[in-house]
């Protein structure tokens, strides 16, 4: 086999193996995953630009978008709920909704700090939100998706 032929074969195999999987994964996103992905994109940008006072308006828009997605998330149920024993399921969902309310409250705190040009307050709120994200996923996300 020539090196060129091997390269072409390898590229073709990559397309065949990876492309259908990528689109399959997209189709399979749960409504909650969709909201989380929206939240994640804004959160990543927010983390990068929060220290930049010239981006204040944009940061406030990102926070508003995250809060909207968090409100929508609260009305959905984690996929893991189906794996929780029936006797514990109601509590699991109540706890999830309470954690989502706490997340919105955390973004309210961040919003206030940004509006007040309080850089230290914004940094502290962001750290708290990053922790909430980690804790929320540990508790409510399916093990295989973590
Ligand atoms: C800034 C905060 C957060 C961000 C940026 C975030 C981001 C994400 C991302 C990127 C995913 C994976 C989506 C995918 O697979 O396409 C995810 C999944 C998930 N997140 Fe979050 N998350 C945050 C906070 C939370 C909190 C506080 C909770 C719980 C109260 C939570 C519960 C979940 C659950 C349950 C899933 C799995 C989705 C499902 O079960 O259908 N997340 N999140």
| Burial class for 60, CB neighbours closer than 10 Å (0-12, 13-18, 19+) | middle
DSSP-derived secondary structure for 80-142? GGGGS-HHHHHHHHHHHHHHHHHHHHHHHHHHHHHHTT-HHHHHHHHHHHHHHHHHHHHHHS-
Chain segment 47-70, per-residue pLDDT in tens: 999 999 999 999 999 999 999 999
* Mean pLDDT within 4-26: 53
Q: Is the CB of 89 under 6 A from ligand 1?
A: no
What is the domain partition of the chain in residue ranges? Answer: 30-145
Distance CA 114, CA 126 (A): 11
Confidence of residue 1 (pLDDT cuts 50, 70, 90): low
Q: Bigger pLDDT: 9 or 73?
A: 73
Q: Is the CB of 37 under 6 A from ligand 1?
A: yes
Mutate-to-test residue for ligand 1 from 25, 31, 36, 107, highest number of ligand atoms within 8 A of CB: 36
Q: Bigger pLDDT: 75 or 8?
A: 75
| Burial class for 7, CB neighbours closer than 10 Å (0-12, 13-18, 19+) | exposed
Residue 20 has pLDDT above 80, yes or no: no
The pLDDT score that the predictor gives to residue 50 is: 94
- Determine the atom of ligand 1 nearest the C-alpha atom of 43: 5
The pLDDT score that the predictor gives to residue 143 is: 83
Chain segment 72-130, per-residue pLDDT in tens: 999 999 999 999 999 999 999 999 999 999 999 999 999 999 999 999 999 999 999 99
Q: Is the CB of 100 under 6 A from ligand 1?
A: yes
To the question of domain 30-145 being in CATH 1.20.120.10, the answer is yes
- CB–CB of 89/78 below 8 Å? no
- CB–CB of 114/64 below 8 Å? no
The pLDDT score that the predictor gives to residue 45 is: 98
* Mean pLDDT within 22-28: 59
Q: Is the CB of 29 under 6 A from ligand 1?
A: yes
- Determine the atom of ligand 1 nearest the C-alpha atom of 102: 27
- Determine the atom of ligand 1 nearest the C-alpha atom of 81: 40
Quickly count: other Cβ atoms within 10 Å of residue 139's Cβ.
Answer: 13
Q: Is the CB of 79 under 6 A from ligand 1?
A: yes
Rounded to two decimals, the pTM is 0.85
Distance CA 114, CA 123 (A): 10
């Amino acid at each position: 086999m020539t090196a060129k032929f091997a390269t072409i074969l390898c590229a073709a195999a990559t397309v065949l193996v990876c492309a259908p999987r990528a689109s399959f994964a997209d189709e399979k996103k749960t409504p909650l995953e969709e909201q989380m992905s929206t939240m994640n994109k804004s959160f990543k940008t927010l983390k990068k630009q929060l220290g930049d006072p010239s981006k204040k308006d944009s940061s406030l828009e990102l926070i508003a978008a995250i809060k909207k997605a968090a409100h929508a998330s609260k009305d959905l149920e984690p996929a893991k709920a189906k794996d929780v024993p029936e006797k514990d399921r109601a509590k699991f969902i109540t706890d999830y909704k309470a954690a989502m309310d706490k997340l919105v409250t955390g973004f309210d705190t961040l919003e206030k700090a940004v509006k007040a040009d309080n850089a230290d307050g914004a940094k502290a709120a962001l750290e708290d939100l990053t922790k909430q994200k980690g804790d929320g996923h540990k508790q409510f996300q399916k093990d295989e998706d973590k």
